[in-house]
């Protein structure tokens, strides 16, 4: 489910680019990368322990 949310964030970010909102789009992209990192860490370690 979180992966779907990441794709939604990326879609939102790309739409922000289309609207000319550069800084907001960059923030959204960084947020999606951060979320993807959390998901990856959960996948490899289970230390994060989120209920995905």
Partner 1 sequence: MMSFFRRMTIEQLGNIFEFAGVIIMLLLALFFQFWLGELPCPLCLLQRVGFIGVAFGFILNFRFGFRPSHYSIILLSALFTSFVALRQVALHVIPGTGAYGSPIFGMHLYTWSFIFAMLIVIITAVLLGFDRQYKATEPSSRLWLYIVRTLYVVMVFIIIANLVSVFLECGFHECPDNPESYSLTL
- Restricting to residues 1-40, name those near partner 1 by CB under 8 A: 1, 3-4, 6-8, 10-11, 13-15, 17-18, 20, 22, 25-26, 29-30, 32-33, 36-37, 39-40
| 18: enclosing H helix or E strand | helix 2-18
HSE-CB at 24 with a 13 A cutoff on CA atoms is 12
Q: How far is CA 13 from CA 26, 35, 52, in A?
A: 7, 14, 23
Binding site for partner 1 (CB under 8 A): 1, 3-4, 6-8, 10-11, 13-15, 17-18, 20, 22, 25-26, 29-30, 32-33, 36-37, 39-40, 43-44, 52
């Amino acid at each position: 489910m979180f992966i779907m949310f990441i794709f939604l964030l990326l879609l939102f970010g790309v739409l922000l680019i289309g609207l000319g909102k550069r800084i907001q789009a960059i923030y959204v992209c960084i947020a999606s990368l951060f979320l993807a990192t959390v998901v990856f860490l959960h996948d490899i370690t289970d230390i994060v322990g989120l209920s995905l």
